Amino acid sequence: MEPPELYLDAAATTPPLPAVIAAMQQLQQTAWANPSSLHGAGLVAAEALERARWSIAERFAVNPDQLIVTSGATESVHLALLGSAAGLVPGRLVISAVEHPAVVAAAHQLEALGWSIAEWPVDGQGVLRLHQLDRLLSAPTRLVSLIAAQGEVGALQPISTIARACRERGIVIHSDATQLVPQGCFAFERLGVDLLTLSAHKFRGPRGVGLLIRAPGVDLSPLQGGGGQEHGLRSGTEPVALVGGMAEALMALPSFDPVSQQVPPGSSTQIRRQRDQLLERLLALPQLQLCGPSPDQRLPHHIALLAKTVGGQPLPGRDLVRRLAAAGVACSSGSACSSGSSADSAVLTAMGIPGPERQSGLRLSLGPWLSDQDLDAVPGRFASVLEAFS
């Protein structure tokens, strides 16, 4: 009999909350019409959409017109970067060396339009090197995009510090908060950025919907034409049920201040304790070592490891993930959005991890669906899989 699967891949996606499924089911039945229609059914859908929008706005302490609903963070990133760059004279775009592939792809599009690209380097823990601030924010930098929390190694970045420096210099700054928001909501203004992106499926909401939040006065140009929905910036009939599901999922998250509490509280009260206890037991295995920052400087649900034989030879992360799945542990090797590649991890490369170890990374990310008893089984399953390589 196969062991029951323990899902430790929250950084890839999360199971939707029962309340989210219920809210979406109700909206599919009662608010199925086009919100732009002026008849009764359309007005019901429009009201449901606006209620969800106000609820979301409250969670980030913004006005509803600062929210742009998209299909997810990838689209939001492209609208943030390409849309803001359209109103700027081409100059330099600064991105971190550990960005999500969506940011890298958008940067390459801007490069084709005459922008130059500079990478903000990170240290051996994956954290941005702040001593590079003056150099990278000098002319001709006009646009900056920095990840708020690195999904592969869990590193929390000093976004508010850099955002303050950008505002002093009149530089537009965007942050991909896709991994940060699932651990707690915050007042958008406190982070200090001009543009913020996120995806609902990372915090137990539905797939296929996300947000771009913009500060007042930040100009954007749409990427496509159409009916002019979302303040003319994202045309297409709004997915009322998906937006309602996203609003419901955000209601379940705790709140925190990203300036005074640089480490978010975690999606549940026990998550950090569970993470720390599991990490201690995993590091007792001689084949595993911590990768990235210390537990008190990373996402509270996140564990990143490098795997090797007892003799010190790096083990293939992708192979380990498959064997762990067969043993009932669902986890990742690298970013789930690029997990189909067997190339060296770009994040581990940027961190200076030696070449042979760049494919040996493992990522475990916990969620409130895991009990202490569930996690008690994980080290033993790891040990049995690792023993097969010895």
Query: Annotated catalytic sites, by residue?
Result: 337
Lookup: tokens for 227 = 């009916």
**How many degrees, rounded to 5, is the angle at CA 158 between CA 96 and CA 214?**
75
Contact call for residues 98 and 155 (beta carbons, < 8 A): yes
- Measure the CA–CA gap between 339 and 170, rounded to whole angstroms: 37
Report the half-sphere exposure of 71 (CA within 13 A, side-chain side).
7
- Measure the CA–CA gap between 129 and 354, rounded to whole angstroms: 19
Contacts of 121 (CB under 8 A, 6+ apart): 97, 128, 129, 132, 350
Separation in Å, CA 148 to CA 163, 197, 289: 11, 10, 24
- Measure the CA–CA gap between 83 and 224, rounded to whole angstroms: 10
- Measure the CA–CA gap between 354 and 80, rounded to whole angstroms: 34
Closest C-alpha to 121, from 96, 146, 151: 96
What's the count of helices (H) and strands (E) in the chain, helices before strands?
13, 12
What are the backbone angles phi and psi of residue 285, rounded to the nearest 5°? -80, 125
3-class state of residue 174 by DSSP: strand
Contact call for residues 106 and 78 (beta carbons, < 8 A): yes
- Measure the CA–CA gap between 79 and 95, rounded to whole angstroms: 16
**CA torsion angle for 366, 370, 371, 374 (degrees, to 10)?**
-100
Residue spans of beta strands (DSSP E) within 291-373: 302-307, 329-330, 361-365
Q: Is the peptide bond before 140 cis (omega within 30 degrees of 0)?
A: yes
Closest C-alpha to 180, from 46, 11, 320: 11
